[in-house]
């Protein structure tokens, strides 16, 4: 079971502001889903290897060569918050 404090902590980890009222709602719905996930506990998997993906491809390499990329102004075109060819954001702390 996750608590209100857990929801607040996860919200911080995921960088999503959650209001007091939402915390309770999330706690209930998240617990209902986590309860369902709990059914996996009954399945013994000690000797089973995890599958991260099913593609039978390992370590795709390429030559380290410089190639043309998108022009700076195109990359910056989707925001108003920019300065001197960079994205502008508020200070960290």
Partner 1 sequence: MAKWMSVAQVKEKIEESSAEEVTAHYLEVIKKSKINGYIKVSEKALEQAKKIDAEEHDGPLAGVPIAIKDNISVVGLPSSCGSKILEGYAPPFNAHVIEKLLAAGAVILGKTNMDEFAMGSSTETSYFGPTANPWDLERVPGGSSGGSAAVVAAGEAPFSLGSDTGGSVRCPAAFCGVVGLKPTYGAISRYGVVAYANSLEQVGPLANNVRDIAVLMDVIAGYDRRDSTSIDSKTEYQKALVEDVKGLKIGVPKEFFGEGTHPDVEKAVWNAIHKYEDLGATWEEVSMPHIKYALASYYIIAMSEASSNLARFDGTRYGLRENGENWHAMVSKTRAEGFGTEAKRRILLGTYALSAGYHDKYYLKALKVRTLVKQDFDKALSKVDLLMAPTMPNPAFKIGEKIEDPLTLYLSDVNTCPINLAGVPSISVPCGFTDGLPIGLQIIGKPFDEPAVLRAAYTFEQNTDYHTKRPLEVA
Q: How far is the CB of 73 from partner 1 (least distance, A)?
A: 10
Does position 32 interact with partner 1 (CB under 8 A)? The reply is: yes
Terminal-residue alpha carbon distance, the chain: 32
Alpha-carbon span 55 to 60, nearest angstrom: 12
d(CA 19, CA 88): 27
Q: Give Dmax over CA atoms of the chain in angstroms.
A: 57
Smallest separation, CB 15 to partner 1 (Å): 5
Is 69 exposed, middle or buried (CB count within 10 Å of its CB: 0-12, 13-18, 19+)?
A: exposed
Closest contact distance (angstroms) between CB of 20 and partner 1 is 13
Q: Which of 1, 20, 21, 57 binds partner 1 (CB under 8 A)?
A: 57
Which residues bind to partner 1, rule: CB under 8 A? 2, 6-7, 10-18, 26, 29-30, 32-34, 36-37, 39-41, 43, 45, 48-55, 57, 60, 62, 70, 74-75, 77-79, 81, 87, 89-93
């Amino acid at each position: 079971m996750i608590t209100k404090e857990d929801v607040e902590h996860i919200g911080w980890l995921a960088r999503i502001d959650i209001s007091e009222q939402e915390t309770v709602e999330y706690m209930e719905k998240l617990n209902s889903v986590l309860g369902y996930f709990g059914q996996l506990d009954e399945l013994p998997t000690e000797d089973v290897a995890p599958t991260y993906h099913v593609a039978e491809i390992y370590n795709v390499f390429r030559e380290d060569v410089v190639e043309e990329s998108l022009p700076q102004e195109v990359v910056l075109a989707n925001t108003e918050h920019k300065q001197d060819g960079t994205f502008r954001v508020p200070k960290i702390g």
